[in-house]
Chain A
Amino acid sequence: MKEYIACLRGKLFSIKCRLFRKRVIIGNGLRMHTRLDIRGAGMVLIGRDCVIDGACGDSHQFVTLYTLNPHATITIGNHVRLCAARISSRFSVNIGNNAIIEESGIADTDFHTLEKSRELPSDERIEDCQIMIGDRVLIGPRSIITKGVSIGSDVVVGPGAIVIRSLPARAFALGNPAKIVKIIQAVEPGNEKCRSENI
């Protein structure tokens, strides 16, 4: 029953976006369990069969996708699950297929300079600041991903980690700043089933 309501909600939201918001493109089969908040004039691309969900046991939080200027883009791949993730973009944020992102913050800018005026930083460039997240990545709750980070595929970012440097494929990172605790062995073919289950 809940799945049907989520499907219906997703369909209504995609129709609303098609009519009124030309810069938001959503693929088929979106399921929405909680509110999805999209603000700003930038491009937002969401792939097929994505799931929008709240945090486990906390009904207040919802998913936010903010773009800060018209050139900003947020690209989300197919079969991605967003659980109360907060993504804000000034340049570009890319998320691969089959990723699971829990209640974490992802921002590709510092928002302010260190000087007293606290203006928007002018020396940021797209090459230094864009965020790339690979396929089958798991990002734990209460973690933060800062600008210029590229995360390889099959990475696990633990809860409470603050990622400031790029991570190679199959790493498991934890801490502030995030350090690689161990390298995960190759994913067995049987594990694919487990990933697609409900959290």
Chain B
Amino acid sequence: MKKIIKKALELCLHSPFARLSLLVAFLRGSLNIFYYMFSNRRITIRFPFFVYEKVRIKGPGKVFIDKFCSVYPNAFDGLSITTFASSAEVRIGQRCNLGGLTVRCLYRIEIGDETMTANCLIQDKLTIHTQIPVQPVNIGRNVWIGAQSCLLSGTTVGNDAVIAAGSVCFEVNIGDYCLGAGNPVVRALPIGRILSLKDIN
């Protein structure tokens, strides 16, 4: 703890305006927290919350964002969460980087800790068609989701997994420490094997 304080002090002394954007983001985030605290009781955001870009949360469902999350600008787009029913539930873990994420929820979406997202779409329904059943989306911790990718209903992503840019996941199970790529993703490749292939070359 002492080391962290010492490092922070050194940084502040070295360049006093470098941390100004962080302070602005912190103030913006706390404004957002107070706004949603008074406007909608079903939305809870834990303190502190760092906001660099717009945050829009709509709908009658339950939304929970844990502490130390931050919203960075990604393709000039912030975080937007829409819930369609009062039984819908969105849960986001600690220390997530949520830049450019769009969430549309009808049933349940869970995102684990320390997840990084780019400009991507997560929704647990395809459309409002009733023939295709609605299934929850589960994303583990420390997952990296690439740009322009879609995670649709019935997707489960394990811990430490990576989802490539432009891929579409639908009713796929991606295991721990695996890479999912393609449109649609058929099966996931373990990252350990890919790295070992690289070493031989």
Assess the A174–B129 pair: CB atoms within 8 A.
no
Assess the B168–A156 pair: CB atoms within 8 A.
no
Q: Closest approach, in angstroms, between the C-beta of A61 and any C-beta of chain B?
A: 11
Q: A58-B102, A175-B184, A195-B128 are in contact. List 12 more A-B contacts (CB 8 A).
A: A56-B82, A57-B80, A58-B77, A138-B126, A138-B128, A158-B152, A158-B170, A160-B168, A160-B183, A162-B183, A176-B168, A184-B131
Known: A175-B184, A184-B131. A159 touches B152 (CB 8 A): yes
Check B7 for interface membership: any CB of A closer than 8 A: no
Known: A57-B81, A57-B104. A142 touches B184 (CB 8 A): no
Which of A58, A156, A159, A191 neighbours the largest number of chain B CB atoms within 10 Å of its CB?
Answer: A159
Complex: chain A residue closest to B103, CB-CB:
A57
Known: A57-B81, A57-B102, A142-B150. A159 touches B132 (CB 8 A): no
Compute how far the CA of A184 lies from the CA of B133 in the bound complex, rounded to whole angstroms.
12
Check A171 for interface membership: any CB of B closer than 8 A: no
A-B contact pairs, 9 of them (CB 8 A): A57-B58, A57-B81, A57-B104, A140-B127, A156-B129, A160-B150, A174-B168, A185-B131, A191-B130
Q: Tell me which residues from 140 to 161 in chain B have a Cβ below 8 Å from any Cβ of chain A.
A: 148, 150, 152
Compute how far the CA of A175 lies from the CA of B103 in the bound complex, rounded to whole angstroms.
21
- Chain A positions within 8 Å of B168 at CB level: 158-161, 174-176
Q: Closest approach, in angstroms, between the C-beta of A11 and any C-beta of chain B?
A: 26
- Chain B positions within 8 Å of A59 at CB level: 56
Interface of A is mostly: loop
Compute how far the CA of A191 lies from the CA of B102 in the bound complex, rounded to whole angstroms.
28
Check A102 for interface membership: any CB of B closer than 8 A: yes
- Chain A positions within 8 Å of B56 at CB level: 57, 59
Q: Tell me which residues from 12 to 49 in chain A have a Cβ below 8 Å from any Cβ of chain B.
A: none
Check A141 for interface membership: any CB of B closer than 8 A: yes
* A-B pairs, 5 with minimum CB distance: A57-B80, A160-B168, A176-B183, A57-B82, A138-B127
Assess the A141–B128 pair: CB atoms within 8 A.
no
Q: Closest approach, in angstroms, between the C-beta of B73 and any C-beta of chain A?
A: 14
Assess the A174–B80 pair: CB atoms within 8 A.
no
Check B121 for interface membership: any CB of A closer than 8 A: yes
- Chain B positions within 8 Å of A1 at CB level: none
- Chain B positions within 8 Å of A159 at CB level: 121, 123, 126, 150, 152, 168
- Chain B positions within 8 Å of A114 at CB level: none
- Chain A positions within 8 Å of B84 at CB level: 199
Compute how far the CA of A162 lies from the CA of B168 in the bound complex, rounded to whole angstroms.
11
Complex: chain A residue closest to B123, CB-CB:
A159
Complex: chain A residue closest to B84, CB-CB:
A199
Check A172 for interface membership: any CB of B closer than 8 A: yes
Q: Tell me which residues from 155 to 171 in chain A have a Cβ below 8 Å from any Cβ of chain B.
A: 156, 158-162
Compute how far the CA of A176 lies from the CA of B184 in the bound complex, rounded to whole angstroms.
7
- Chain A positions within 8 Å of B103 at CB level: 57
Q: Closest approach, in angstroms, between the C-beta of A192 and any C-beta of chain B?
A: 10
Assess the A158–B126 pair: CB atoms within 8 A.
yes
- Chain B positions within 8 Å of A199 at CB level: 84, 127-128
Known: A156-B126, A159-B150, A175-B183. A141 touches B82 (CB 8 A): no
Assess the A140–B126 pair: CB atoms within 8 A.
yes
- Chain A positions within 8 Å of B81 at CB level: 57
Compute how far the CA of A113 lies from the CA of B155 in the bound complex, rounded to whole angstroms.
39
Compute how far the CA of A102 lies from the CA of B127 in the bound complex, rounded to whole angstroms.
9
Assess the A197–B184 pair: CB atoms within 8 A.
no
Q: Closest approach, in angstroms, between the C-beta of B162 and any C-beta of chain A?
A: 18
Q: Closest approach, in angstroms, between the C-beta of B100 and any C-beta of chain A?
A: 10
